[in-house]
Copies of this chain bind each other. A is one copy, B any other.
Amino acid sequence: MKIETKTVQFTAPLYLESGRILEPYSICYETYGVLNADKSNVILICHALSGSHHAAGVYEGERKAGWWDGLIGEGKAIDTQKYFVISTNVIGSCFGSTSPMSPNYPSQEPYRLKFPVITIKDMVHAQMHLLSELGIYHLRAIVGGSMGGMQALQFGVDYPNLADDIISLASTYATRPWTIAFNKVAVEAIRRDPRFCHGNYEVGAFEEEGLDGLAIGRIAGHISYLSPDSMDDKFGRNYVNNDGLFELFGRYEVERYMEYNTNNFSRIFDPLSYLYIVKAINTFNLSRGYDSLHDAILRIKAKVHLISFSSDYLFFPSEMDHIANMMERNGQEYSYLPVESDYGHDAFLVELDKFESHIKDVLE
């Protein structure tokens, strides 16, 4: 399929949870498949921290497919022959939606650190405006993993009549201090990097060299996306070269992996955007704005499908258990698939064969 990124510009203000206003703002998105006549076949995909609206297909002239291409496409679990899939880019992302590097209207200068704090609730709120703009008032399903799974749950709580099914993978009901601490490495590493210049770096400053602070923070991220066992399998205690053992900076394979991936990432991801999205993850709490988590979850009318991964060291299965137990006690409609996996948090991106048939069943 040919993939095109579309953007909707909104001139009406977005009222944020903080009380601040974002105006104007825009949202990037992609669609796959065809909208049917009664608009009953729409599936919304929500992305994670480092993701984008490019969830499926391959751009013309590129080789790398979207981040959930194995799951979304013709004949796949989310079948684009049946469904009209909308994949949106969150507010704050550096991949096209309004972000800290967008002009702070009416000035032409980027917001930078003047950009307002965005929450998961705000991201979801903005996406509601996108759906309205597209004339879509009902969703067959909302699907997302990690931060995308937070958005899926937040949609369910804030807009109970929107979707039939909500599928949330490798996610939680509220971010725990463990995860906030992992994010803290990135926050401090970026903040204290002299080339970050307190957010006043030149546009494109890191395209060549990358920002060390972001690369370093991302190492901590990658630890939390893997697991002790997955690292044993993937790297063991192998050295990159023979000098690994007795040279101070001789590297183990796990170290090479961390360097390679994080250096690349720091060339393509904007550090201010990273800080703002991490902040949205840190502040995620499904119960905020409601009397209790119980009250928040009780609002959900969609069928909720929770998928956890046994080796997830970022959002532990026990956090999904907690939501499932609550819905069970409330007599709400839900399913819960605890997947056995050695792939850690990343399993929602790589172990598709362990949950794709479940997603297919949910949608049928």
CB distance from A319 to the nearest CB of B (A): 9
B residues near A237, Cβ cutoff 8 Å: 174-177, 180, 285
B residues near A228, Cβ cutoff 8 Å: 176-178, 316
| A283 B245 Cβ-Cβ under 8 A | yes
B residues near A215, Cβ cutoff 8 Å: 188, 192
| A246 B18 Cβ-Cβ under 8 A | yes
Please, how many angstroms separate the alpha-carbon atoms of A235 and B184 in the complex?
Answer: 14
B residues near A185, Cβ cutoff 8 Å: 185, 216, 219-220, 223
Choose among B194, B235, B246 the residue that contacts A117 (Cβ–Cβ < 8 A): B246
Shortest Cβ distance from A258 into B: residue: B184
CB distance from A176 to the nearest CB of B (A): 6
A1-39 Cβ-contact flags toward B at 8 Å (1 or 0): 000000000000000011110000000000000000000
Choose among B17, B175, B222 the residue that contacts A181 (Cβ–Cβ < 8 A): B222
Question: Which has the most chain B C-beta neighbours within 10 Å: A245, A253, A316?
Answer: A245
B residues near A231, Cβ cutoff 8 Å: 176-178, 181
B residues near A234, Cβ cutoff 8 Å: 177
Taking CB atoms and an 8 Å cut-off, the chain A residues in 160-199 that contact chain B are: 174-178, 180-182, 184-185, 187-189, 191-192, 194
A242-257 Cβ-contact flags toward B at 8 Å (1 or 0): 0001111100111100
Q: Tally chain A residues at the interface, Cβ within 8 Å.
A: 58
CB distance from A267 to the nearest CB of B (A): 15
Let me know if A232 is at the binding interface, CB within 8 A.
yes
| B216 A188 Cβ-Cβ under 8 A | yes
Main SS of chain A's interface residues? helix
Please, how many angstroms separate the alpha-carbon atoms of A220 and B275 in the complex?
Answer: 17
Let me know if A351 is at the binding interface, CB within 8 A.
no
Question: Which has the most chain B C-beta neighbours within 10 Å: A18, A215, A283?
Answer: A283
Taking CB atoms and an 8 Å cut-off, the chain A residues in 23-79 that contact chain B are: none
For the complex formed by this chain, how many copies does it contain in all? Answer: 2
Choose among B177, B194, B279 the residue that contacts A254 (Cβ–Cβ < 8 A): B177
Shortest Cβ distance from A189 into B: residue: B216
Choose among B113, B220, B316 the residue that contacts A220 (Cβ–Cβ < 8 A): B220
Let me know if A259 is at the binding interface, CB within 8 A.
yes
Given contacts A248-B276, A255-B184, contact A177 B219 (CB under 8 A): no
| A223 B316 Cβ-Cβ under 8 A | no
CB distance from A215 to the nearest CB of B (A): 7
Please, how many angstroms separate the alpha-carbon atoms of A252 and B179 in the complex?
Answer: 12
| A117 B247 Cβ-Cβ under 8 A | yes
| A212 B192 Cβ-Cβ under 8 A | yes
Taking CB atoms and an 8 Å cut-off, the chain A residues in 137-177 that contact chain B are: 174-177
B residues near A184, Cβ cutoff 8 Å: 219, 254-255, 258-259
Please, how many angstroms separate the alpha-carbon atoms of A20 and B248 in the complex?
Answer: 13
B residues near A220, Cβ cutoff 8 Å: 185, 219-220, 223
B residues near A115, Cβ cutoff 8 Å: 248
| B194 A194 Cβ-Cβ under 8 A | yes
* New A-B pairs, 8, CB < 8 Å, besides A181-B219, A188-B216: A18-B246, A175-B237, A177-B237, A178-B223, A180-B252, A184-B259, A237-B285, A252-B282
